[in-house]
Amino acid sequence: MNDDERGTEKGGRSTDSGHETATAARVQVSDIAKHYEGNEGPIRALEGVSFDVSDGEFVCLVGPSGCGKTTMFRIIAGLESATAGDVFLNDERVDGPTSDMGVVFQEYHLFPWRTVRGNVAFGLEKSDVAAEERRARVERLVELVGLEGFGDSYPKELSGGMKQRVAIARALAVDPDLLLMDEPFGAVDAQTREMLQTELLEIWRETGKTVLFVTHDVEEAVKLADRIVVMAKEPGRVREVIDVDLPRPRARSDAKFGRYYERVLGLIRGERGTPDV
């Protein structure tokens, strides 16, 4: 299915994707500041950060190392409180972790003593999903992330890319409205990363989830996003939000791809007057 077809699906998504509900979420980040106490005075990790993510949209948050991406991710996930400002998920203020979000961290954070199935099932164990449905859902997700045949394997038996697939399946298990990811493919080799990117787009298309994806990799952001929120450092601020008007699948070799890439990179480097695409 191409991008246009996906567009026509919005608002009335099919639910034959292995998920019984095709819910997505709106996120509003409103004037967030985060200050830490440093040895030489306060560290302004984030200052006046505002952006939003629409229902079903794929947004990448991109910026240089240390610009506050992980801090922003943790605040949105409800894992950390902001010094000022608010985050809203479907108009409700986020004030702690919620099963409405599926969270994927840079490091895999799998339970080493649980099998692939056991890891994927984790979030469901506290839910009111019936045992039979739980088992069926775990099987569907293991398949969705391409790990058929590995359900009984333990994390130590898996490659980095496979571990991150498990983490994605686990995040999707509770059928969250929002998939929130912090540099999820940062620790895998380039070839695996490309494969996972393609698979994530496929999962996004199939499930209709809203995705907020943090990365420092400009090429990754241009490859994946409907919109890119470009952040700058010291203090961490939003420099610009860019609509990526490119059909999928996207190729780095495409001239327009290259222009988006240069534009985002220019913004990150703080260049003035970067050309429009």
Spatial separation of the C-alpha atoms in residues 131 and 133, rounded to whole Å: 6
Is residue 50 a contact point for Mg ion (CB under 5 A)? no
Spatial separation of the C-alpha atoms in residues 123 and 38, rounded to whole Å: 36
Report the residue from 22, 49, 67, 82 that binds ligand ADP according to the rule CB under 6 A. 67
Alpha helix positions (H), the chain:
3-9, 69-76, 116-121, 131-144, 160-173, 190-207, 218-224, 255-268
Is residue 146 a contact point for ligand ADP (CB under 6 A)? no
- CA trace torsion 156, 162, 168, 174 (10° rounding): -60
Piece of 18-26, 65-73, 130-138, 194-202 that binds Mg ion (CB under 5 A): 65-73
Residue 67: name its binding partner from ligand ADP, Mg ion, none (Cβ under 5 to 8 Å by kind): ligand ADP
- State which residue, 74 or 137, has the beta carbon closest to ligand ADP: 74
Is residue 70 a contact point for Mg ion (CB under 5 A)? yes
Closest CA to 260 of 232, 233, 223: 223
Please state, in angstroms and as integers, the Cα–Cα distance from residue 70 to each residue in 57, 74, 129, 181, 201, following that order.
20, 6, 31, 10, 22
- Coil, strand or helix: which one is 187? coil
Range 236-275, binding ligand ADP (CB under 6 A): none
Is residue 215 a contact point for ligand ADP (CB under 6 A)? no
Q: How many CB atoms lie within 10 A of CB 236?
A: 25
Spatial separation of the C-alpha atoms in residues 212 and 137, rounded to whole Å: 23
Helix 190-207, helix 160-173: angle, nearest 10? 20
Q: Binding residues for Mg ion, how many (CB under 5 A)?
A: 2
Piece of 60-68, 140-148, 219-227, 239-247 that binds ligand ADP (CB under 6 A): 60-68
Q: How far is the CB of 66 from ligand ADP (least distance, A)?
A: 4
Q: How far is the CB of 67 from Mg ion (least distance, A)?
A: 9
Is residue 36 a contact point for ligand ADP (CB under 6 A)? yes
Amino acid at 27: V
Is residue 48 a contact point for ligand ADP (CB under 6 A)? no
Q: Binding residues for ligand ADP, how many (CB under 6 A)?
A: 11
- State which residue, 17 or 70, has the beta carbon closest to Mg ion: 70
Range 70-89, binding ligand ADP (CB under 6 A): 70-71
- State which residue, 43 or 195, has the beta carbon closest to ligand ADP: 43
Handedness of CA 8, 136, 200, 74 (dihedral sign): positive
Amino acid at 46: L
Is residue 43 a contact point for ligand ADP (CB under 6 A)? yes
Report the residue from 68, 123, 155, 176 that binds ligand ADP according to the rule CB under 6 A. 68
Contact set with Mg ion (CB under 5 A): 69-70
Name the residues that contact ligand ADP, by CB under 6 A: 36, 43, 45, 63, 65-71
